[in-house]
Amino acid sequence: MSKNQLSKLYEELDEAHADDLASTPGRTSRKRQSRRSEMDARLFVRAQEAAGEFEFTYKAARFEEAWLLDSLHEIAGQQLISDVLRKIKSGKEASVYLCRSGASIEARLLAAKVYRPRTLRNLKNDAVYRTGRTDLGEDGSALFREADVNAIIKRTKYGEELRHTSWIAYEFTTLEKLYAAGADVPKPYAMLKNSILMEYIGGEGMPAPTLNAVTLDRDDARELFDRVVLNLNLLLQNGRIHGDLSSYNILYWDGGITLIDFPQVVSPESNPMAWTLFQRDVTRICQYFSAQGVSVNARKLAADLWTSYGHRIVKEVHPGDLDAENPRDRKLWERQQKG
């Protein structure tokens, strides 16, 4: 890459980081921005090397194209996908792309969830969800090497990369666990680098809409509500709470539902905010179905589900009220959990 190309690249990356500067004026120095740009520039160098091996139909902007090449060329190399057709969802921390499958997968179409580069993620307060979780490696197993654990604690560059990988691994391993248990989630196929390859829900011309965009008749609404409750039970049975469940991350297709977006899952046993997060999930779901004509008491439903698995209802705390990484707040949570 020539100096001229690299200069243009930095300009493009600075534009990509502009939102960070605008949202935190005076907190992010130009020097830090320059370091981030230099770090992200390496992405393009790797992407150029991969470009000759994997070409796709989707016409992406230059930064996005490099990001996709770097993220998906290994998946393509294993013949899991043969093409990226188009983007079907864009989010603050990841985007989802419709892909044509490769020779090693029978399904014709797949969805690839590609997480944004760590320096461009915009996820606040994720410590609430990380509390009580053991960090996971790329293979989904717990990290136990002292060097890895110390890097995460000290928040070194390497440690931040490990935290980023662990966040993604929690989504993939949760999908594996829930799919095997019969939950309504996409079938997971692979996790490589910062990407998850999974079952695509929808038609070739249109992805499945999220439930919030759908108006149901009362009979269908009742049936789907019962199905969501079944999934809430399956989550609890498998030691998981979605943590951000609402009609915005439930897909609706062919009369059925599919729950998506699981990186922030928490454990009912080890996260002191578990009851609060679970009750929030149930309340959001009940709000949607109440508007569709389903009569339901959200507080009672949440309490009944929660206590049926032997969990104790603790004093409600808003997730933003306490700092999950502050030792004093951690002790307060533990005292509340013990009652």
pLDDT of residue 220: 95
pLDDT tens profile 225-242: 999 999 999 999 999 999
What whole-number percentage of the chain has pLDDT above 70?
Answer: 75
Are 182 and 218 contained in the same domain? no
How high is the pLDDT of residue 298?
97
Q: Which residue has the higher pLDDT, 330 or 167?
A: 167
Query: In this structure, are 177 and 219 located in the same domain?
Result: no
Residue 186 and residue 309 in one domain: no
Please give the residue that has the higher pLDDT: either 332 or 117: 117
Domain end marker among 199, 223, 244: 199
Q: What pLDDT does residue 20 have?
A: 44
- Same-domain check for residues 233 and 126: no
**pLDDT attached to residue 93:** 86
pLDDT at 69: 87
Number of C-alpha atoms within 13 angstroms, CB side, residue 162? 23
Query: What one-letter code names the amino acid at 327?
Result: P
Average pLDDT (83-107) is 93
State CA 181 to chain mean position distance.
Answer: 20
- Do 67 and 167 belong together in one domain? yes
Kindly report, residue by residue over 177-212, the tens digit of the pLDDT. Answer: 999 999 999 999 999 989 999 999 999 889 999 999
CATH number at residue 293: 1.10.510.10
- The owner of tokens 């989904």 is 140
Q: Which two tokens stand for residue 79?
A: 């013949």
Provide the pLDDT for residue 91.
83
Q: In total, how many domains does the chain have?
A: 2
The answer on 110 and 219 residing in a single domain is no
Domain of residue 76 covers 57-199
When pLDDT is averaged across residues 76-91 and rounded to a whole number, the result is 93
Confidence of residue 66 (pLDDT cuts 50, 70, 90): confident
Type of residue at 81: I
- Among the candidates 174, 199, 224, a domain finishes at 199
The number of residues making up the chain comes to 339
Greatest extent of the chain over all pairs of C-alpha atoms, in Å: 64
10 Å CB burial of residue 170 (0-12, 13-18, 19+) is buried
Residues 6+ apart with CB under 8 A from 315: 336
- Report the pLDDT averaged over residues 241-256: 97
Tell me, yes or no, whether 241 and 132 share the same domain: no
Higher pLDDT, 150 or 328: 150
Name the β-bridge partners of 257.
Answer: 252
Alpha helices in 78-185 (DSSP H): 127-130, 146-154, 157-180
Same domain for 222 and 192, yes or no, is: no
Here the contacts of 220-223 (C-beta below 8 Å, separation 24 or greater) are 220/255, 221/289, 221/292, 221/293, 221/294, 222/293, 222/294
Of 138, 168, 199, the position where a domain reaches its end is: 199
CATH number at residue 108: 3.30.200.20
H helices of the chain, in order, are 3-16, 18-23, 30-51, 62-77, 127-130, 146-154, 157-180, 218-237, 274-291, 298-308, 327-338
Both 93 and 189 in one domain: the answer is: yes
Residue 121 banded pLDDT, cuts 50, 70, 90: low
- Say whether both 191 and 325 belong to one domain: no
Minimal CA–CA distance to 240: which of 133, 111, 139? 133
In a domain, 322, yes or no: yes
Same domain assignment for residues 98 and 186: yes
Is 16 contained in some domain? no
pLDDT score, position 64: 85
Question: Chain-wide mean pLDDT for the chain?
Answer: 83
- Average pLDDT of the segment spanning 105-117: 93
pLDDT attached to residue 13: 44
Residues 194 and 244 in one domain: no
Helix (H, G, I), strand (E, B) or coil at 91: coil
